[in-house]
Each structure stands twice: as structure tokens, then as C-alpha cells.
Amino acid sequence: MKKMVALLLALLMLVGMCGLAGAGNEKIVITVTRWGDIGVRDAEQVMIDKFNAENDKNIEIIYDVVPGDGYGDRLTTSFSTGEGYDIFASGEGDFYKWVGAGLTYSLNDLIANDAEWVNEMNEAIFAMGNINGEQTYLVRDYNPLCLWYNKDVFDANGVDYPADDWTWDDLIAAAKLLTVMNDDGTYASFGFNAQSWTYAALTYLTSLGLDIVDPTATVVEGYLDSPEVIAAMQDYVNFAIGDDRISPTASDMDTFGNAGAMFINGTLAMTINGGWMRGQLVDAGCNYGTALVPGNHAQYLCASGYAIGSRCKNPEAAWEVLKLLTGRECSETKLELDAALLPTIDALLEVKKEQSGPEDQGLLNSLDYGVQPVGMRSPIGNPAATAFTRAMERLALTNDPVEQIFADAVAEVYEAMED
């Protein structure tokens, strides 16, 4: 009987050990999400496929790419249901938002405990991921905004290309020459795109030396509703109003297509946009050029970063994946696939500058005039940008008193901060 009991106990221990061995062989699954589409230039997909096939860290990466329009909702829902992604991408305008919502995990200890990791990013780019003293994001890509112009439209109308010393008056004068009407009263081309995109409009303001928050990014009253900001935004909105407009309206867009399509087909001469526009233009064979934004050349520096989610059960494993997606090899792969104009690794940026043609120099030179987007400066930034956008829409679509529109915008910001 004693022998049978001993044998039974031995068998149970063997089963237990086998069970532990099996559990130990199970891979740690790390889920990663970002917005957009997976295309031929998706360097991150290339890196993930390679990692899953070759890594010896017992980690498997699941990559979930979500269409941009539904990304924020998908991210919020995933965390509210108790799951949440292990790693998620965020645009710089939402860096504070996700930290405030409790969705992020501080990287400070992971970085401090990883003696082998070396930061190869430019310090200013790396610092963009530091929120409230905590390194929360690692930047995956970044882009300055600049003035893009269609050389063929300029040539056809005998207008000189934009110069680095252009003022906004120079741009407007050129845009008038480049806005051409057909004999039947329709438009053959527009000179400039005064788009409603928040960053483009805020770049217009900042290039005039104006801002919607104070230098400490804690006050909007006297800035968002200042007479100078109001006057500048009236001018900006008026670019797309009336028979003498130099910018397409929403109904014009319905006729011609979106701004990218208009630029490529020669019905739009100039637009403010980021480096992501380049791939579309190159693929279409568009004869384009880039220049500094007029005025003081200041422009919003856009970025996106990856964060580890607060519900991640294996942050050390997630840190290995985060390093993969933001490291040198991924950056080199992006360059090889022409997936990003500006690598995050400092040394590779210098290589890219040397390899770039004259058509991209305006975009590259814009890096020297980058301004941190208002949403990255403090918690008040994102509500301020949202209120600004709504004020701009009211200015374009209603006859409400202008001062009241911007007074309401200020009140909206402070209400949002109270909530």
C-alpha cells in the first residue's frame, strides 16, 4: 500500500512538472495596435514578422492595425472592457489625454533596469515622450509641416516658386495669380488650401508669431480670444469665401476631390502638410517642391509614439517589443522601404539629408523651425486646440459675432478642464 501511495505521489509530481514545463514553453503574447493601413511600406509589419520567426525571447507579437477614423474609440473600448492593448500608438496631440485617462505605463523603471539599452534618438525627439516627468512614449516617427507646391501649376502660370523669405503677403499675391477661372465661371485651379485641419490653421497662427495659449501653457484667456488671433483667423477663413477666393471650399472639394488629389491633378498649387504627403506624390509622379512656411517659418512638429498599456501583464516583454518598433533596425527598414522621410535615429537623419533631392529640402529645413504642438505642452493644450477648431468652424459657417465665438471658445476650454 505504501509503495502504491509513493508511486502515485511520484506520478502526480511528474505530471505537475510536465505541466510547469508546458506552461514555461508557452509564448508570452504582446498585442500591438496603431491606426492606418498595412501597405507595401509597412516596416513595422516586416520587423514583427521577422521577430516572430526568429526571436529567442519566447514572445509572440500580434499586430492589430485599425482604420484611423475608429482608432480612438477602439482604444478606449479595449481598456474599458478590461483588456487593453499591451502596446498602442498615439498621436502627439493625445499624449496627455491617454496619460490622464490612466491608459499608460511609465517606462522609467524599464529604462533604468535595462543596462544594454542606449537611446539613439535626438534628445528633443526623445523628450517629446516625457509627460509629467515620466518617460511614457517612445516616438516612432515625426514630421515637420512645410509648404508644398506643384511646380507644373507655377510653371503654367509663369509664377516664381516660393522662396525662403516669403511673407504671407507674398503667398497670397502668388495664390491670386495661381487661382484661375475657366470661361464658364468654374475654377481651373486654386492657389492655396486654407484647410480646416487644426494643425494647418495653428501653423498659420504660429508663423505670424501668435498662439492660443500663454508661454506657460496654462492660460487661454487673452490668447485664444486676443484681437490679433481673431483678426488672423478671419483672414484665414476668408481665403475660402467669395468669388475672389484663393482656396477651395467644401463644395469645391466635392467637385475636385480631396486636397491631395487636387494637388496631384494640378487644381491646387500650394498646401501646408507633413512629410507623409511625400509618398503619395512620388507614387503619382507629381512634380512637386517644398519650402519653408511663410512668415517666421514656425510650424507644428507632428509625431506619433508607442506606449505600453497600463493593463499590460508582462511589461518587461512589452519593453522588448517597444525597443524593436522604435530602434535602429526598424528605422533603417523604414528608410529602405521609403516608409518615412525622417528617421528617429540621429545618425540616420544625417544620411537621409544627404540622400534627399532638392524637392524635399524645404521639408528637411523646416525641422529648424519646429514648434511643439499645443497638445503636448500641458493638459490644457488639447482642450484649447479642440475649442479653437470649433471656433474656426463657427467663424466659417455662421454669422455669430466674432468676439462671442472666441469668448465661447475660452469658456469651453475652462469647462473641459473642470470636468
Candidate from 5-14, 44-53, 164-173, 350-359 with smallest mean pLDDT: 5-14
Q: What is the mean pLDDT of residues 228-238?
A: 97
Question: Do residue 280 and residue 334 come from a single domain?
Answer: no
Q: What is the mean pLDDT of residues 19-28?
A: 57
pLDDT beyond 50 at 50: yes
Q: What is the mean pLDDT of residues 106-122?
A: 95
Question: Do residue 249 and residue 394 come from a single domain?
Answer: yes
User: Do the domain assignments include residue 6?
Assistant: no
User: Do the domain assignments include residue 12?
Assistant: no
User: Do the domain assignments include residue 3?
Assistant: no
What is the rounded distance in angstroms from the CA atom of residue 3 to the CA atom of residue 1?
A: 5
pLDDT at 348: 87
Question: Do residue 158 and residue 239 come from a single domain?
Answer: yes
User: Do the domain assignments include residue 186?
Assistant: yes
What is the rounded distance in angstroms from the CA atom of residue 288 to the CA atom of residue 358?
A: 10
Q: What is the mean pLDDT of residues 391-406?
A: 95
pLDDT beyond 50 at 18: no
Residues in the chain: 419
**Which residue has better confidence, 402 or 12?**
402
What is the rounded distance in angstroms from the CA atom of residue 403 to the CA atom of residue 126?
A: 39
pLDDT digits (tens, 9 = 90+) for 260-275: 999 999 999 999 999 8
Question: Do residue 225 and residue 313 come from a single domain?
Answer: no
Phi-psi region of 342 (alpha: psi -120 to 50; beta: other; left: phi over 0): beta
Model confidence at 37, pLDDT cuts 50, 70, 90, reads confident
Model confidence at 251, pLDDT cuts 50, 70, 90, reads confident
Of 330, 355, 380, the domain-final residue: 355
CB contact burial 53-90 (16+ within 10 A = b; e otherwise)? eeeeeebbbebebbeeeebbeebeebbeeeebbbbbbb
C-alpha cell belonging to residue 24: 514555461
Question: Do residue 275 and residue 326 come from a single domain?
Answer: no
pLDDT at 411: 97
pLDDT digits (tens, 9 = 90+) for 147-162: 999 999 999 999 999 9
Q: Which domain holds residue 329?
A: 27-141+302-355
Question: Do residue 173 and residue 133 come from a single domain?
Answer: no
Of 327, 355, 383, the domain-final residue: 355
Q: What is the mean pLDDT of residues 40-59?
A: 90
User: Do the domain assignments include residue 4?
Assistant: no
Model confidence at 1, pLDDT cuts 50, 70, 90, reads very low
Q: Is 66 helix (H, G, I), strand (E, B) or coil?
A: strand
pLDDT at 275: 87
Integer angstrom CA distances of residue 94 from 75, 100, 307, 322, 383: 12, 10, 12, 19, 11
pLDDT beyond 80 at 341: no
On whether the pTM is more than 0.85, the answer is no
Model confidence at 40, pLDDT cuts 50, 70, 90, reads low
Query: Which helix H or strand E contains 272, and what residues bound it?
Result: strand 270-274
Which residues, in sequence order, are CB contacts of 145 under 8 Å at separation 6+?
199, 200, 203, 272, 273, 274, 293, 299, 300, 301, 302, 366
Question: Do residue 408 and residue 343 come from a single domain?
Answer: no
Which residues, in sequence order, are CB contacts of 168 under 8 Å at separation 6+?
204, 207, 208, 294, 295
Question: Cα-atom radius of gyration of the chain, to the nearest Å?
Answer: 26
- Choose among 299, 306, 199, 195: nearest CA to 240: 195
Question: Do residue 38 and residue 82 come from a single domain?
Answer: yes
pLDDT at 15: 35
CATH label of the domain that carries residue 47: 3.40.190.10
Q: What is the greatest pairwise CA distance in the chain?
A: 107
Candidate from 24-33, 135-144, 357-366, 383-392 with smallest mean pLDDT: 24-33
Q: Is 224 helix (H, G, I), strand (E, B) or coil?
A: coil
Question: Do residue 268 and residue 188 come from a single domain?
Answer: yes
pLDDT digits (tens, 9 = 90+) for 279-317: 889 989 999 999 999 999 999 999 999 999 999 999 999
Q: What is the 8-class DSSP label of residue 268?
A: B
Question: Do residue 69 and residue 116 come from a single domain?
Answer: yes
DSSP structure string for 320-376: HHHHHHHSHHHHHHHHHTT--SS-SBHHHHHHHHHH--GGGHHHHHGGGGEE--GGG
pLDDT at 10: 41
pLDDT beyond 70 at 5: no
Of 355, 380, 396, the domain-final residue: 355
Q: What is the mean pLDDT of residues 176-189?
A: 93
Query: Which helix H or strand E contains 88, and what residues bound it?
Result: strand 87-91
What does the mean pLDDT of the chain come to?
Answer: 89
User: Do the domain assignments include residue 150?
Assistant: yes
Question: Do residue 215 and residue 263 come from a single domain?
Answer: yes
Domains of the chain: total: 2
User: Do the domain assignments include residue 31?
Assistant: yes
User: Do the domain assignments include residue 81?
Assistant: yes
Which residues, in sequence order, are CB contacts of 246 under 8 Å at separation 6+?
172, 175, 176, 178, 179, 190, 191, 192, 194, 239, 240
Share of the chain above pLDDT 90, in %: 66
Question: Do residue 64 and residue 125 come from a single domain?
Answer: yes
